[in-house]
Amino acid sequence: MIKDATKIFRLGFLLISFAFTPLFAAGQDLGSNNGLFRASNPTTKTTSTAKKTAPKPKSASEKSSSAKKESAKSTKKDTAKSTAKSNSKSGSSSKNSVKPRTEVAKSTPKPVVQQPTKAIINRPPQNDIIINVGQKTSGDFDELFEQSIDEGNTARDERNYSGAESAYRRAQSLKPRDSRAIYGLGNLYSDQQRWEEAEYAYRQAIQLEPNSPDAHIALSFVLTQPVVGSNLGDRYSEAVKMARMAIQLDDANAVGYDQLGVALELSGIIEMETQNAYRKAVQLDPNFALAYAHLGRLLRRNGLINESEVAYKDAIRFASDVPTMILVADVMQSQQRFPQSEQLLRRALSEDPKNPTALFLLGRALTIRGSYDEAEKVLKSSLDVSPNSFVSYALLGSLYTRRNQFENAEAILMKALQVISVNERKRLAQEFEMVGDGFLKVGKSKDAARVYRQALSLDASKSLLTSKLNKAQKS
């Protein structure tokens, strides 16, 4: 079940640096939103390289889930595959052909093979929704649970994220020990780049299914995302550990090898071990677009330009589905290949106009090349679809600052305050600081002071902010 998720997880978010400060700086493959984290009917056994819920996979999981579909009504959505197989379906790690939706499928309890990992984040998702089911029999609970999972999957496919979250939480309250509901929440949060909540969910999924390669790939994928304010070195180290565990549980999992390569690369290991991980992924799945993209990036970093171009061409050639296009585009942006990424993203949006990750990445590409009017329109569309996406608010705020529209920048950043997490506070403080600098530059001292105070409320440790505030107040 989590297996399909693995394929999707292939999103392969390179995680090389989503340095939010210049939010548009080359990023890390983001993804899950694109159907990357797709899931298919879980079976006791997970398919080798297709996680269809987290990274970026391809349709491999679909093949492996065909038998499962008859026995399970729901499957976990694109999760795992999106990171590994050029995410056969999504983007930062790898994925190739991820389908827009995979249900959260049933999974058979498996023996514990490791101690559950402890969560390292401060903010768990909101409390479970409790419903009054009255005097229901176990059969009624089963039916209500399956119905809730189906509703969550459908709402997620329709980009109705609030409805999907309510449905998954209702399912979780009915069967707290069934991993499908919490896994669905993890995929949902990944779609919206709510990494801390996704991490919390996937850690719970591992506690419920410690032998699931897909759950380990999904967690590894999230740990390679840029969470500001955290110790990235420790996160990348754990991401490597989770990917190795996934491979240990399923040594034929292409998505697992691709995600291992991503985690190693982010850890600063760019020699043969990392290259071998990517090559093993494409060996296991010759159509794994995301893995080719990751390999192309690594080869270029090592000065092998010609080989890199060949790998990139293969990535584009095999990127036939929306999630994979997005994942490959994200990898390209991590190397400043914005024009090529833009072509892939426009293709993806022609098929899936409301894909929030594709909209965000296209908005970033357009911002980089100075097409501010279109970038603004695209980022607003992204927020219409995913109103809880902090990264979209931050990027739009940066865009307004670049255009010297400081009032608009402040207004959009104030909205970001409503969805901010603990680790995102410093990032948002930086955005407010830049707006304050802009106000001060044009002689609006009172406005600058107001914005600097807002920045200080988010990051009181930055002494330079205090100096700037004093200067603005004296002007």
Domain ranges in the chain are 2-367, 404-474
Supply the mean pLDDT for the chain: 76
Output the six-digit token pair for 449.
């002071």
When pLDDT is averaged across residues 338-348 and rounded to a whole number, the result is 93
Q: Which amino acid makes up residue 87? A: N
pLDDT at position 301 over 80: yes
In angstroms, the CA 180 to CA 76 distance is 6
Three-class HEC string of 290-301:
HHHHHHHHHHHH
pLDDT at position 56 over 60: no
pLDDT band of residue 47 (cuts 50, 70, 90) is very low
Instruction: Express each pLDDT in 218-247 by its tens digit.
Output: 999 999 987 766 688 899 999 999 999 999
Closest by alpha carbon to 217, among 422, 72, 36, 96?
Answer: 36
The top-level CATH class assigned to 404-474 is mainly alpha
In this prediction, residue 137 carries a pLDDT of 54
Instruction: Express each pLDDT in 306-319 by its tens digit.
Output: 999 999 999 999 99
pLDDT at position 109 over 50: no
pLDDT at position 356 over 60: yes
- The CATH number of domain 2-367, selected from 3.40.50.620, 1.20.1440.230, 3.40.190.10, 1.25.40.10: 1.25.40.10
In this prediction, residue 228 carries a pLDDT of 66
Instruction: Express each pLDDT in 441-460 by its tens digit.
Output: 999 999 999 999 999 999 98
Place of tokens 């590994």: 84
In this prediction, residue 30 carries a pLDDT of 30
In this prediction, residue 136 carries a pLDDT of 54
Three-class HEC string of the chain:
CHHHHHECCEECCCCCCCCCCCCCCCCCCCCCCCCCCECCCCCCCCCCCCEEECCCCCCHHHHHHHHHHHHCCCCCCEECHHHHCCECCCCCECECCCCCCCCCCCCCCCCCCCCCCCCCCCCCCCCCCCCCCCCCCHHHHHHHHHHHHHHHHHHHHCCCHHHHHHHHHHHHHHCCCCHHHHHHHHHHHHHCCCHHHHHHHHHHHHHHCCCCHHHHHHHHHHHCCCCCCCCHHHHHHHHHHHHHHHHHHCCCCHHHHHHHHHHHHHCCCCCHHHHHHHHHHHHHCCCCHHHHHHHHHHHHHCCCHHHHHHHHHHHHHHCCCHHHHHHHHHHHHCCCCHHHHHHHHHHHHHHCCCCHHHHHHHHHHHHHCCCHHHHHHHHHHHHHHCCCCHHHHHHHHHHHHHCCCHHHHHHHHHHHCCCCCHHHHHHHHHHHHHHHHHHHHCCCHHHHHHHHHHHHHHCCCCHHHHHHHHHHHHC
Same fold for the pair 2-367 and 404-474: yes
pLDDT at position 405 over 60: yes
In angstroms, the CA 112 to CA 428 distance is 40
More confident residue, 23 or 368: 368
Q: Give the list of residues 6+ apart from residue 272 with CB closer than 8 angstroms, or none.
A: none
Instruction: Express each pLDDT in 140-189 by its tens digit.
Output: 778 999 999 999 999 998 888 899 999 999 999 999 999 999 999 999 99
In this prediction, residue 128 carries a pLDDT of 41
Q: What is the pTM of this model?
A: 0.67
pLDDT at position 261 over 80: yes
263 and 218 Cβ atoms separated by less than 8 Å: no
pLDDT at position 26 over 90: no
In angstroms, the CA 203 to CA 214 distance is 12
In angstroms, the CA 461 to CA 194 distance is 25
Core vs surface per residue 48-64: b (16+ CB within 10 A) or e = bbbbbbbbbbbbbbbeb
pLDDT at position 59 over 80: no
